[in-house]
Amino acid sequence: MSDMKAVRFDHYGDVDVLEVRRVPRPSPGTGEVLVAVKAAGINPGETVIRRGAMSGPLPTGQGADLAVVSSSSNVVSVLPHTLPSGQGADLAGVVVEVGPGVETLTVGEEVLGFCPRNKRVSQAEFVVVPASNLTLKPSAVSWEVAGALFTAGTAAYAAVRAVELAVGDTVAVSAAAGGVGTIAVQLAKRAGATVLGIAGPSNDDWLSAHGVIPVNYGDNLPDRLKAAAPQGRVDAFLDFFGGGYVKLAVTDLGVPPLRVNTLIDFAAVATFGVKAVGHIDAANVGVLAELAKLIADGDLEIPIAAVYSLDEVREAFRALEQRHTRGKIVLLP
Ligand SMILES: NC(=O)c1ccc[n+]([C@@H]2O[C@H](COP(=O)([O-])OP(=O)(O)OC[C@H]3O[C@@H](n4cnc5c(N)ncnc54)[C@H](OP(=O)(O)O)[C@@H]3O)[C@@H](O)[C@H]2O)c1
């Protein structure tokens, strides 16, 4: 049987638990295809999982990336994670084998997509995925961008949709230049909103070039946000950083709770009654194809901060965990 390289971990902990091993190459079952992975994005939620925060029944408020939040009830449920584990949901690559019953894809087609939530193994040379989790990659979209799109793109899409932006609204976005933020600020602009992007000074130029008003994090942030807003008023808030931004939005800026969406601060969801709509709410190939078309048409940019080989997975996560990435970090198997 042929084998392949893949990221694995047997214990919860720091980046050092991550290993790149030779493992058997999987075969596609009914409705599945085998993809030779060209690029696989990495995400902060994978750090949450690797540290063990999703390893058992969890109270509301813990574990970011796998938390499923009903947008109507704000009820959080979680998927327990088990060991040993692979890693990664995002992927782009070439179909190399098609399982029984697959009629939508053929060998040789270039695709992007995602692993099922209970089988996250895209950080590998090959991955088996349900055909229904894949869409064709437009040729104008690079491998790096296609492989980085799923988690951040669908999270940004769902979060922007959740706060129901209209022309004339002003929305503030924390972590505006990160993996999710760079996409969300552009989608919010497309919805007709004025966008205030909260990040450090090194991102001022990128945000301005994308029509976003940069506002640096730091002292007196609520006053500086209000001063930067055209009508002195912030109508909606997208929190991609945590650490008090929900409280700032509701109590300091007076944003109505149902126009605040956080991807990370689940404790604040219970306290302030804000939304926590995440990527699960837009995790489908229709949304992926829509985002890929925007990119192919030149209407959406996904900045790639750095690429690493699969063997450099620990270095890639050390960089991501600094929380100062502009756009996405991608592994190229
Ligand atoms: N629930 C879901 O569906 C879901 C999906 C995806 C992600 N997430 C979560 O969403 C969050 C964002 O993910 P990501 O991939 O976008 O993260 P990321 O790329 O690591 O975010 C980096 C960004 O954070 C900014 N930043 C650093 N310190 C900040 C501060 N004090 N205030 C405001 N911004 C600050 C950085 O700006 P500077 O470089 O200028 O400092 C940079 O723009 C993570 O917590 C992740 O777990 C959740």
Report which protein residue has its CA nearest ligand 1's atom 11: 240
Q: Do 264 and 168 share a domain, yes or no? A: yes
Computed over every residue of the chain, the mean pLDDT equals: 93
Phi, psi of 5 (to 5 degrees): -90, 140
Q: Do 185 and 284 share a domain, yes or no? A: no
Say yes or no: CB of residue 306 within 6 Å of ligand 1: no
Q: Do 41 and 147 share a domain, yes or no? A: yes
Say yes or no: CB of residue 151 within 6 Å of ligand 1: yes
Which of 274, 293, 308 delimits the end of a domain? 274
Check pLDDT > 50 for residue 95.
Answer: yes
Instruction: Tell me, yes or no, whether 157 lies in a domain.
Output: no
Percent of the chain with pLDDT over 90: 89
Report which protein residue has its CA nearest ligand 1's atom 30: 217
Mean pLDDT, residues 137-158: 98
Report which protein residue has its CA nearest ligand 1's atom 40: 200
Q: Do 86 and 112 share a domain, yes or no? A: yes
Q: How confident is the model at residue 56, as a pLDDT?
A: 63
State the total domains in the chain.
Answer: 2
Check pLDDT > 60 for residue 67.
Answer: no
The best mutation among 323, 328, 330 to test binding of ligand 1, ranked by most ligand atoms within 8 Å of the C-beta, falls on 323
- Cβ(238)–Cβ(160) under 8 Å? yes
CATH number at residue 107: 3.90.180.10
User: What is the C-alpha to C-alpha distance for residues 212 and 205, in angstroms, rounded to an integer?
Assistant: 10
Instruction: Tell me, yes or no, whether 158 lies in a domain.
Output: no
Report which protein residue has its CA nearest ligand 1's atom 20: 323
Say yes or no: CB of residue 26 within 6 Å of ligand 1: no
Taking only the tens place, the pLDDT of each residue in 183-224 is 999 999 999 999 999 999 999 999 999 999 999 999 999 999
Q: How confident is the model at residue 62, as a pLDDT?
A: 41
- Cβ(272)–Cβ(278) under 8 Å? no
Q: Do 7 and 119 share a domain, yes or no? A: yes
Say yes or no: CB of residue 174 within 6 Å of ligand 1: yes
Say yes or no: CB of residue 203 within 6 Å of ligand 1: yes
> What contacts 120, CB < 8 A, 6 or more positions away?
46, 49, 85, 86, 87, 88, 89
Q: What is 65-83 written as a DSSP string?
A: TT-EE-TTT--EE-----S
Q: What share of the chain is helix, strand, coil (3-state, %, to 5)?
A: 30, 25, 40
Mean pLDDT, residues 264-283: 94
Domain that holds residue 186: 164-274
Partnered with residue 3 across adjacent β-strands are 24
CATH number at residue 196: 3.40.50.720
Q: Do 142 and 14 share a domain, yes or no? A: yes
- Cβ(45)–Cβ(22) under 8 Å? no
Q: Do 27 and 110 share a domain, yes or no? A: yes
Q: Do 99 and 191 share a domain, yes or no? A: no
Distance of CA 275 from the midpoint of ligand 1 (Å): 17
Inter-CA distances, 290 with 75, 295, 299, 329, Å: 28, 9, 11, 22
User: What is the C-alpha to C-alpha distance for residues 242 and 43, in angstroms, rounded to an integer?
Assistant: 16
Report which protein residue has its CA nearest ligand 1's atom 46: 44
Instruction: Tell me, yes or no, whether 202 lies in a domain.
Output: yes
Q: Do 84 and 57 share a domain, yes or no? A: yes
Q: Do 143 and 15 share a domain, yes or no? A: yes
- Candidates 138, 157, 154; CA nearest to 146 is 138
Q: How confident is the model at residue 60, as a pLDDT?
A: 46
User: What is the C-alpha to C-alpha distance for residues 197 and 214, in angstroms, rounded to an integer?
Assistant: 5
Torsion of CA 156, 161, 164, 169, to 10 degrees: 30
User: What is the C-alpha to C-alpha distance for residues 40 and 310, in angstroms, rounded to an integer?
Assistant: 9
Q: Do 20 and 132 share a domain, yes or no? A: yes
Phi, psi of 216 (to 5 degrees): -75, 140
Check pLDDT > 50 for residue 59.
Answer: no
Check pLDDT > 80 for residue 61.
Answer: no
Taking only the tens place, the pLDDT of each residue in 298-333 is 999 999 999 999 999 999 999 999 999 999 999 999
Report which protein residue has its CA nearest ligand 1's atom 12: 240
